[in-house]
Amino acid sequence: MKRDGDCSTGKRGAPIKAPPGKTRITIRIDDDILGWFRNAAHDQGGGSYQTLINMALRDHVEARQEHLEQTLRRVIREELPQGLGKTAGR
């Protein structure tokens, strides 16, 4: 029987290393969510649904950070003048 190829020099693991700043992971995503991202990538003329997922996650993280910053600024505006008034009256 003829062999299809010589695998004696093959290596195990991911065939392509992740570029710097990226980490290869395995994640479970609901079928409908994955389908939505795949369809969105297709509707945009191709590209990577993984890039769209990454962009959505980044947008979410940035929005949460912005929300936290706005909350801290509001608390400081509201509480700082009250705190200054208490220390001035000592």
Name the packing angle between helices 31-43 and 49-88 (round to 10°): 110
Q: How high is the pLDDT of residue 43?
A: 95
Q: For the whole prediction, is pTM greater than 0.85?
A: no
Q: CA separation (Å) from 44 to 30, 36, 37, 39?
A: 22, 12, 11, 9
pLDDT recorded at residue 28:
95
Residues of the chain with pLDDT under 50: none
pLDDT, residue 3, reads 62
pLDDT score, position 86: 64
